[in-house]
Amino acid sequence: MKCSALKLCSGIGLSVFVAFAPQLQATESESFLIKNATLHTATAKGRLDHADLRVANGKIQQIGVNLEPQEGDKVFDATGKHVTPGLMNARTQLGLVEISAVESTNDTSTEMEGMGASFNIAPAINFHSTLIPQNRTNGLTRALVMPYNGNNLFAGEGALILLRSEKNGLIKQRAVQSAVYGSAAAGMSGGSRAAAYARLEKALSEATYVRSNLSQFKPGIKYEFSQSLDDLKALIPVLTGQVPLVIEAGRADDILNLIALKKKFGFKLVVSGAGEAWQVAKELAEGNVPVLMDPIANIPSFDALTVRLDGAAKLYEAGVKLIFTGGGTHNAYLVRQSAGNAVANGLPHTAAIEAMTINAAEVFGVKNYGQLEPGMDADVVIWDGDPLEVTSNTYAVFIQGERQSMVSRATRLRDRYWQLKGSQTGYSR
Amino acid sequence: MKVSRLVLFALLSVSAGCQPEKPHEKVEVKRPEPVFVSTYKPLPSKSMLFKNATLLVGTGERIDKAFLFIKDGKVVEVGKSVAVSPDVEIVDVKGKWITPGIIDVHSHLGVYPSPSHKMAEDGNEMTAPNTAEVWAEHAVWTQDPGFNLARAGGVTSMLVLPGSANLFGGRGVALKNVPSVTMQGMKFPNAPHALKMACGENPKRVYGSDGRSPMTRMGNVAGYRKAWIEAVEYKKSWDDYYKKAEQGEEVEPPGRDLQLETLKGVLEGKIRIHNHCYRAEEMAVMIDIAKEFGYKISTFHHAIEAYKVADLLAENNICAAMWADWWGFKHEAFDTVTENVAMVDKASPNACAIVHSDSAIGIQHLNQEAAKAMAAGNRMGLQIKPKDAIRWLTLNSARSMGVDSLVGSLESGKMADFVIWNQNPFSVYAKAEKVFIDGALVFDRDDKSRQAASDFELGIEDPEGERL
């Protein structure tokens, strides 16, 4: 819910949110100054204590100490509080799924023939999903929305979104191409990952051919390729390096094979899942391959027997760029709990913040987001404690400078059943 | 023993026949012996005194600068000052926190082990809506690496349950989280069996989509009631048999039925109902079914909507086992509130709120899950402290499982199952440093020799190395 009008927000507050309304009142949020906070900047400056941050016109204007409010600034005393960029989860199905098991609300994948790499997920994103406020009120302001694989190794094209309940939440469609390798890919390739590898390689070779001979291909003609022509065309931005190719893989050898594939075709590879990535950390670092992972996921599988809680720390030490996911889609905001566990297992706190903000922004081409730095979009979250700590809650959430409502369907239910205790509105017991 | 009882029975029967003047003398009739009995033996332990701990008792009490004295695997004393004889080892744990061992009332470790694959899935006997005859313990793979990971998270006991595909999924088993080759070596001595039941979507999806009953929630309830009607009859036939046999009548025992034996155990109060049930109105219906047939429901699991009927649960002395924040995977899991646990806890002094995992990852971080639930409650002003929230993982779980006289709190005479944490456990940074089960050190973060690796993990990565 856009919260730009004071009346709208306070109206919501009065009806259902009185008992637990945050101390801060909703504002026009044209400009504001956060005073005396611990800033997690996600820049080389790292963490700044007792620092101030000023926002105007939707952008971060200034960071420093003892900043003076300018005319019209709302001032937040954030003593004892922490501030981060709005968090980003880089592997979600936000907007694609409301209730996972209810098919009519689930648009995560397609099994349509000829629609693999060209499956652009963006039109399916429902910005009025209840998952958007659920995650936004908990500090997530951006997400990468990725399709799941249907029956093609290429899942399709993911989108970058702002967690706003309106159409302009779409920042960028076709932001990323997604594929799968390992045992899941073997299952789609007749039973062996060697066949899956050959198919990936073939698709990229064919896309290279199509790219070089684009004018030869005419509509209405069926061509003999391993993928549909649309799918091969969709891989051209991958070959040109405009769009990263995220490939799911766990086993160390699988990851090495993907690095070889990257070398052959020169695309921007991101390895996702990556349970055994720590074992090939050196090769990943040398190959400039970021890893997209949920650092709390430490249950061994036959695709990742050596997965471990300090995997993220080991990758970081080797110089691999980390991008975090976690919490699934419904609780995509819990990426911060995953990040906290990475820190508990040796990752520097600053690196964990970067893995939920600037790193994803850099790899996936999100402009003006991901750091507390003048000029950046003011996606800003004020936390009542350490943002990685499970006992911390959001105190205020801003997206591009706009204060967001803290109401979600869940808070509505909470308030109905706590305040009414079954005594009104026909819901007595 | 078995033979002698039979012989005794026969002799007494005969002699009763010869001596009609004493027809009412009670005859001893053979009762079924326990099967798959626990062989669990506490590991070697020492008498130890821990001092200077921040100690959460598990009862709602917190003691700072606390002493904890353990001996012979039991808690002897907890308090501000404890005197011990000179031979007792004294350990200063200043800066550390001690809690009772964590108990997870909803685990599928061993029956849905990792690495996961089709042939390792042993938790759901999806062949009929009533499979009360199957027992989870018959499928527990003790080499599941998840047991060791859970131990490193401070989990000392758990209830391993069958899955939720069926109206009656089968018996669950309480385990002590010790490394063991056999299931019997982990089986919690004298803990009651659980009977897993399931409401809602799962049974109707599994069977209804096959054109079988249950296809609807109506069918679910008909299925429960039909089974309980049979169970009541079955119990009566055995009760009648024992009554007559004990009076010396020559009667044939009824035929054994494994399925009905389980339900009979529930009607007799020996087996506890653990009911997967998300929606408030279904919980209310299940409570009425229990009243109709005269049994008790111990716990509603995955109780996403428990906050809507928290008072009803407390009135009926039923626990609610909940996730801190999972939701949305099914329609019946849609009405989430992150304050669910806290709201249930605060509904009544008799409330029994539990944080469960149902997850091989979640079980490793139940302290964090409870911390999130606590923080959510505190955000709405409920003022829940670690000393309160620890009950959601310890004494309330023990109460749910029927082992609260044995574990769940650090009170005199209870099993010395406890965790030494490097800090306040309600933190993402907290780690279980040492884990004790029956007074024995079963996990030590600083000592590789106290970090059990399962057989599966040996040589799996490097023939000569360790997986972790």
Instruction: Tell me the residues of chain A between 385 and 414 that have a Cβ less than 8 Å away from chain B.
Output: 388-393, 410-411, 413-414
Q: Is the torsion defined by CA of A119, A99, B150, B49 positive or negative? A: positive
Nearest CA in chain A to B431: A344
For residue A377, tell me if it sits in a domain: no
Q: Are residues A79 and A92 in the same domain?
A: no
Nearest-by-Cβ selection for B337 from A296, A343, A414: A414
Contact between B328 and A99 using a beta-carbon 8 Å cutoff: yes
CB crowding B392-415: b at 16 or more within 10 Å, else e: bbbbbbbbbbbbbebbbbbbeebb
Q: H or E element: which one contains B311? A: helix B310-315
| pLDDT score for A296 | 98
Residue matched to tokens 């949305």: B328
Contact, A174 vs A121, CB < 8 A?
Answer: no
Which residues from chain B sit within 8 angstroms of residue A82, using beta carbons? none
- Convert the pLDDT of each residue in B384-404 to its tens digit: 999 999 999 999 999 999 999
Please name the residue ranges forming H helices in B327-435: 340-345, 366-379, 386-389, 395-401
Please report residues of A whose CB lies closer than 8 A to that of B380: 19-20, 414, 418
- Inspect the interface and report whether the beta carbons of A300 and B361 lie closer than 8 Å: no
Please tell me the predicted confidence (pLDDT) of residue B1: 35
pLDDT digits (tens, 9 = 90+) for A256-285: 999 999 999 999 999 999 999 999 999 999
On whether both A394 and A290 belong to a single domain, the answer is no
Given this model, what pLDDT does residue A427 score? 55
For the cut 50, the answer to whether the pLDDT of residue A3 exceeds it is: no
Question: Distance between CA atoms of B430 and A389, rounded to whole angstroms?
Answer: 10
Give me the mean pLDDT over the A212-241 stretch: 95
B-chain residues within 8 Å CB-CB of A391?
371-372, 374-375, 378, 426-427
Q: How far apart are CA A374 and CA B217, in angstroms?
A: 57
| Closest Cα in chain B to A344 | B429
Tell me the two tokens of residue A331: 């609780």
CB contact under 8 A, A343 and B429: yes
Residue A8 has pLDDT above 90, yes or no: no
- Would residue A383 count as lying in a domain? no
The residue ranking higher by pLDDT, A362 or A426, is: A362
Å between A233 CA and nearest CA of chain B? 35
Q: Tell me, yes or no, whether A402 lies in a domain.
A: yes
Asked if the Cβ–Cβ distance from A389 to B372 is below 8 Å, we say: no
Is A1 part of any domain? no
A196, pLDDT greater than 90: yes
Residue A402: name the closest of A376, A379, A383, A382 by CA: A379
Mutate to test the interface with B, among A132, A392, A417, A423 (most CBs of B within 10 A): A417
pLDDT at residue B357 above 50?
yes
| Residues in A touching B326 (Cβ below 8 Å) | 330-331
Asked whether the beta carbons of residue A391 and residue B371 sit closer than 8 angstroms, the reply is yes
Q: Does A352 touch chain B (CB under 8 A)?
A: no
- The count of CB pairs under 8 A between chains A and B is 127
Is B336's CB within 8 Å of A410's CB?
yes
Domain CATH code at residue A56: 2.30.40.10
A264 and A119 assigned to the same domain? yes
Chain A, nearest residue to B332 by Cα: A99
Nearest-neighbour CA in chain B from A348: distance (Å): 12
- Tell me the pLDDT tens digit for each residue of A64-110: 999 999 999 999 999 999 999 999 999 999 999 999 999 999 999 99
| Cβ contact, residue pair B330, A330, below 8 Å | no
- Distance in Å, alpha carbon of B288 to nearest chain A alpha carbon: 14
CA A357 remoteness from chain centre: 9
Same domain, yes or no: A313 and A359: yes
| Smallest Cα distance from A422 to chain B, Å | 8
pLDDT tens digits, B101-130: 999 999 999 999 999 999 999 999 999 999
Q: What is the CATH number of the domain that holds A100?
A: 3.20.20.140
Find the CB nearest A100 among B328, B336, B428.
Answer: B328
pLDDT higher than 90, residue A6 = no
Identify all chain B residues contacting A422, using CB atoms and an 8 Å cutoff.
Answer: 308, 311
Residues A194 and A249 in one domain: yes
Q: Quick one: what percent of chain A has pLDDT higher than 70?
A: 90
What is the pLDDT, as a whole number, of residue B22? 56
Domain count, chain A: 2
DSSP run (H or E) holding B288: helix B280-293
* B335: closest chain A residue by CA: A410
In a mutagenesis test of the A interface, which of B118, B322, B365, B429 is the best target, namely the one with the most A β-carbons within 10 Å? Answer: B429
State both tokens at A156.
Answer: 């399709």
Whether residues A105 and A245 fall in one domain: yes
| In a shared domain, residues A215 and A278 | yes
Rounded Cα distance, B160 and A219, in Å: 59
B344 neighbourhood in chain A, CB within 8 Å: none
A239 C-beta neighbours (distance < 10 Å), count: 19
Phi, psi of B147 (to 5 degrees): -60, -45
**Pair (A205, A311) in one structural domain:** yes
Top pLDDT among A428 and A289 is at A289
Q: Measure B357 CA to nearest chain A CA, in Å.
A: 14
- For residue A165, name the pLDDT band (cuts at 50, 70, 90): confident
Query: Do A185 and A196 meet the contact criterion of CB atoms below 8 Å apart?
Result: yes
Query: In B337-459, which ranges are continuous DSSP H helix?
Result: 340-345, 366-379, 386-389, 395-401
Amino acid, single-letter form, for residue A118: S
- Interchain contact, B115 vs A334, CB within 8 Å: no
Mean pLDDT of chain B: 94
Q: Which residue of B has its CA nearest to A345?
A: B429
Q: Would you tell me how many other CB atoms lie within 10 Å of the CB of residue B53?
A: 26
Q: How far are the Cα atoms of A30, A105, A350, B323 from residue A98, in angstroms, in the given order?
A: 33, 5, 33, 19
Please tell me the least confidently modeled range out of A102-106, A221-225, A314-318, A358-362: A221-225
Compare CB distances from B461 to A305, A393, A418 and report the shortest one's residue: A305
Query: How far, CA to CA in Å, does A262 sit from each of A148, A209, A241, A401?
Result: 22, 17, 11, 39
Q: How far apart are CA A305 and CA A291, in angstroms?
A: 18
Say whether pLDDT at B436 is over 50: yes
A233 exposure class (CB count in 10 Å sphere: 0-12, 13-18, 19+): middle
Q: Where are the alpha helices (DSSP H) in B184-279?
A: 201-208, 217-246, 258-267
| Residue A385 domain flag | no
A346 or B11, higher pLDDT: A346
Looking at residue A420, what is its pLDDT? 57
Q: Do B365 and A296 touch (CB under 8 A)?
A: yes
Q: Is the peptide bond before B115 cis (omega within 30 degrees of 0)?
A: yes
* Amino acid found at A253: D
Amino acid letter, B465: G
* A120, part of any domain: yes
Q: Give the 3-state DSSP-derived string for chain A, with helices as H, strands as E and coil as C.
A: CCCCCHHHHHHHHHHHCCCCCCCCCCCCCCEEEEEEEEEECCCCCCEEEEEEEEEECCEEEEEECCCCCCCCCEEEECCCCEEEECEEEEEECCCCECCCCCHHHECCCCCCCCCCCCCECHHHCCCCCCHHHHHHCCCEEEEEECCCCCCCCEEEEEEEEECCCCHHHEEEEEEEEEEECCHHHHHCCCCCHHHHHHHHHHHHHHHHHHHHCHHHCCCCCCCCCCCCHHHHHHCHHHHCCCCCEEEEECCHHHHHHHHHHHHHHCCCEEEEECCCHHHHHHHHHHCCCCEEECCCCCCCECCECCCCCCHHHHHHHCCCCEEECCCCCCCHHHHHHHHHHHHHCCCCHHHHHHCCCHHHHHHHCCCCCCCCCCCCECCEEEECCCCCCCCCCEEEEEECCEECCCCCHHHHHHHHHHHCCCCCCCCCC
Establish if A426 belongs to a structural domain.
Answer: no
- The residue-averaged pLDDT of B351-379 equals 98
pTM: 0.93
Q: Compare all CA atoms of chain A with the CA of B423 and give the residue at the minimum distance.
A: A344
Q: Give me the amino acid identity at A261.
A: L
Where do the H-state alpha helices sit in B48-200?
145-152
CB-CB: which of B284, B360, B428 is closest to A390? B428
For A70, the domain range is: 6-85+390-419
Task: Using pLDDT thresholds of 50, 70 and 90, give the confidence band for residue B16.
Answer: very low
Put simply, whether A362 touches B (Cβ < 8 Å) is no
The answer, yes or no, to whether residue B464 has pLDDT greater than 80, is: yes
Determine the residue among B143, B206, B337, B361 to mutate to test chain A binding: the one whose Cβ has the most chain A Cβ atoms within 10 Å: B337
Question: N- to C-terminal Cα distance for chain A?
Answer: 32
Residue, of B266 and A1, whose pLDDT is higher: B266
CA B325 to CA B341: how far, in whole Å?
10
A221 and A168 assigned to the same domain: yes
Question: What's the pLDDT at B24?
Answer: 66
Give A4's pLDDT tier (boundaries 50, 70, 90). very low
Nearest CB to B381 within list A20, A337, A388: A20
Which among A98, A301, A308 is the nearest to B114, CB-wise?
A: A301
Q: Best interface-test mutation with B: which of A93, A299, A325, A406 has the largest number of B CBs within 10 A?
A: A299
Q: Give all domains of chain B, ordered by start, each with its CATH number.
A: 101-411 (3.20.20.140)
Shortest Cα–Cα distance, B210 to chain A (Å): 17
Cα nearest neighbour of B147 on chain A = A299
Write down the pLDDT at residue B465: 84
Q: Return the number of other C-beta atoms located less than 10 Å from residue A50's C-beta.
A: 13
Nearest CA to A62 among A398, A374, A372? A374
Question: What span, in angstroms and rounded, lies between the C-alpha atoms of B318 and B337?
Answer: 20
Minimum CA–CA partner of B374 in chain A:
A391
Position A17 scores a pLDDT of 36
* Residue B415 pLDDT class (50, 70, 90 cuts): very high
A317 touches chain B (CB under 8 A): no
Is 50 exceeded by the pLDDT of residue A288?
A: yes
A342 shares a domain with A195: yes
- Residues in chain B with CB shorter than 8 Å from the CB of A390 are 368, 371-372, 375, 426-428
Q: Indicate whether B4 pLDDT > 70.
A: no
Looking at the structure, tell me whether residues A317 and A307 fall in a common domain. yes
In this predicted structure, the answer to whether residue B25 has a pLDDT above a threshold of 90 is no
Partners of residue B374 in chain A, C-beta under 8 Å: 391
CB contact under 8 A, B328 and A131: yes
Neighboring chain B residues of A346 at a CB cutoff of 8 Å: none
Same domain, A176 and A135: yes
Asked if B428 lies within 8 A of A300 by C-beta distance, the reply is: no
Structural domain contains residue A375? no
